[in-house]
Chain A
Amino acid sequence: MDIITILFYLVTSVIILSAISLIIVNNTVHAALLLVLIFFNSAILWLMLKAEFLSIVLVLVYVGAVLVLFLFVVMLLDIPVRKNSNQKLYLLFSVVTSLVMFAELYMVIFYHNFTNEVNIITSSELNNTYQIGLMLFTDYIFSFEVTAFILLVAIIAAIAINMTEKQRSLRQDPGKQILESKKSRLRIIKGNKL
């Protein structure tokens, strides 16, 4: 067997096993860390497909930023471990959802002709990063800019939601702190009155 094939089976089995245990574990922090493992192995999978830019960006964005915030929230909230009371209902929903997803994936993979559509540039002179940049800023410029705009709106919305809390919270005014001087804080009392 080729060494790449062995690596592929190793990585995919880690992904599948950790995905299953991600659903099973009760501890939310463990679940978040298993998600880190899944993303990491997916990055290795992409690296094996010679998509180095995408794989490193996956690690940088999802593992390095998004999941850190996940962990942050999960640790601060301290969600108690408890058993679900209506497990049968959950089981029904999960079985239905997974069957639908399986059917969709099956149809996408087996009833779709991939060969003629995707126009991949495979020249070795241009590197992966350059090719992606070229595609994003020429063929897909419209969708790229729309995505950027949606993200900007989301950022502004998040800040706006936070701003309404301002009245209730106590916070320091840095301007006041900087302007504070010795004169306004200290008063020297003269005489023998003490």
Chain B
Amino acid sequence: MFDFINNLLDISLTYYNELSFVSHTLILISLIMVPLLIIVAYYTYAERKIIASMQGRLGPNVVGPKGLLQPLADGVKLFFKEIVIPTDSNKFLFLLAPVVTFTVAFAAWAVIPFDSVMVLSDINAGLLYILAMTSLGIYGIIIAGWASNSKYALLGAMRSASLIIAYEIAMGFALVGVIMASGSLNLGDIINSQKGSVFNWFWVPLFPLFIIYFISGVAETNRAPFDVAEGESELVAGFHVEYSGMGFAVFFIAEYANMILISALTSILFFGGWLSPFNISTLGYFELNGFVNNILLFLINDGIHWFIVKTFFFMFCFIWFRATFPRYRYDQIMRLGWKILIPITLIWIFIEMIFIYYKVEPWFA
């Protein structure tokens, strides 16, 4: 027994560096994951409340004060529900699909810079990594649709797959525009190249690409008005129709995490991430007493709060779209993706090339 513990200690000493690195990283990951999951939970609550107020209803208001405990109640309910596995379905793949969706949705957060120093993994090919991870999200949907052994689920998965393939190209071209403007694949460098004021951000020179990126983002996450994959009126619930309990909940969480990811990326790529919209040097000094002055300075300076504000704005837009637009027909979605969005991105990349060649101020100086 003593020998065994000694051996274990020996091993842990040999791999001390690796072990400390792993534990350090795990703590950082949980620091990202836990707030994200809480935001996801309250995002569902916000969605129900906002849509309710847009439609003149009250929304959830029974559980807790103003219905604030509703997400917890939903979670508990889904957790204790029975997981039904359909007959003749592929059990392994059926259970694997939600795991894949969840993993991929959260893996992309590894390279998101929350602040000038707050980033889990500051890799050079950050944008490429995000593109790769978002393109993997489709596997969860396809596997779920196929393994369910249900016609509705398979049709939903097929619709979703063709939709994601179509809009991924437009999304990729929009990102090419950002890469050309910033000259880097690193997300931190992309933000730093937008330094200045609100008009130095990339949304001004890349306005069409910004619009296309956000539209493609809405389509990639299968949200209204592009939610043909779920299509309640035609396919019941699309690819996750056979899932119950936690399986359904995991798909749900992944979808909302993806929405938050797209919002965060839009704010990073086109709206300067953690950069402040004000140019501090032109504002001058504040003639206030010490404490208030410090708080004000902190608020106008660059920081994580600007990133959060921008991200929350785009998250609100997702809900706003859902409350406003009716669902696209399937062939209309395909036409919009292939025949409108992709040609616009190609043309705008060409125009941007001219901008860069003539060094148009202040973005391409």
Residues of A within 8 A of B (CB): 3, 29, 33, 36, 52-53, 56-57, 59-60, 63-65, 68-69, 71-72, 75-76, 127-129, 172, 174
Taking a contact as CB atoms under 8 Å apart, the answer to whether B15 and A128 are in contact is: no
Interface contact B142-A71, CB-CB below 8 Å: yes
Name the interface residues of B138-194: CB closer than 8 Å to any CB of A. Answer: 138-139, 142-143, 146, 154, 157-158, 161-162, 165, 168, 185
Cα A183 to Cα B208 in complex, Å, equals: 35
Please, which residues of chain B bring their CB within 8 A of the CB of A129?
Answer: 124-125, 128, 185
On whether the beta carbons of B142 and A53 are closer than 8 Å, the reply is: no
* B299: Cβ under 8 A from any A Cβ: no
Q: Would you call B18 an interface residue if the criterion is a C-beta within 8 Å of the partner chain's C-beta atoms?
A: yes
- Which 7 residue pairs spanning A and B have beta carbons closest together? A64-B135, A60-B132, A127-B124, A59-B132, A56-B128, A3-B18, A56-B132
User: Looking at the complex, which one of A3, A53, A63, A76 makes contact with B136 (CB distance below 8 Å)?
Assistant: A63
**In the bound complex, what is the Cα–Cα distance between A128 and B129 (angstroms)?**
14
A56: chain B residues at CB < 8 Å are 125, 128-129, 132
For A75, list chain B residues within 8 Å (CB).
Answer: 142, 146, 154, 157-158
CB-contacts of B3-33 with A (<8 A):
15, 18
Residues of B within 8 A of A65 (CB): 135, 165, 168
A33: B residues at CB distance < 8 A? 93, 143
Least CB separation from B126: chain A residue? A56
- Complex Cα distance A68/B131, Å? 15
Contacts of A69 in B (CB 8 A): 165
A176 to chain B, nearest CB (A): 13
Bound CA span A172–B334, Å: 12
With a cutoff of 8 Å between Cβ atoms, the chain A residues found around residue B135 in the complex are 60, 63-65, 68
Give the A-B pair count, Cβ closer than 8 A. Answer: 66
B contact face: mostly helix, strand, loop, or mixed: helix
Interface of A is mostly: helix
* Chain A residues, Cβ within 8 Å of B161: 68, 71-72
Most A-side CB within 10 Å, residue of B93, B128, B161, B165: B128
User: Which A residues are CB-close (under 8 A) to B125?
Assistant: 52-53, 56, 128-129
**Is the pair B131, A60 in contact by a Cβ cutoff of 8 Å?**
yes
Please, what's the 1-or-0 string for B297-338, where 1 marks a CB less than 8 Å from any CB in chain A? 000000000000000000000000000000000011001000
A60's contact among B128, B138, B158, by CB below 8 Å, is which? B128
Minimum Cβ distance to chain A for residue B205 (Å): 22
Beta-carbon contact of B146 and A68 below 8 Å: no
The answer to whether A29 touches B131, judged by C-beta atoms less than 8 angstroms apart, is: no
CB closest chain-B residue, reference A29 = B146
Cβ–Cβ < 8 Å partners of A71 in chain B: 142, 146, 161
| B54 interfacial by beta-carbon distance below 8 Å | no
Q: Which residues of B contact A29 (CB under 8 A)?
A: 93, 146
A72 cross-chain contacts in B, Cβ below 8 A: 142, 158, 161-162
- A36 and B139 in contact, given A53-B125, A75-B158, A174-B335 (Cβ under 8 angstroms): yes
Pick from A52, A68, A127 the residue with the most CB of B within 10 Å. A68
Of B15, B124, B128, B165, which one neighbours A68 at CB under 8 angstroms?
A: B165
A35 to B206, CA, bound (A): 38
Chain B residue with Cβ nearest A127: B124
Question: Are A57 and B158 interface neighbours, CB within 8 A?
Answer: no
User: Nearest Cβ in chain B — how far from A188, in angstroms?
Assistant: 26
**B332 partner residues in chain A, CB cutoff 8 A:** 174
Q: Does B123 contact A (CB under 8 A)?
A: yes
Distance between Cα atoms of A174 and B340 in the complex (Å): 13
Known: A29-B146, A68-B161, A76-B158. A59 touches B136 (CB 8 A): yes
| Cα distance, A63 to B154, chains bound together (Å) | 20
**Nearest neighbor of B92 in chain A, beta-carbon distance:** A30
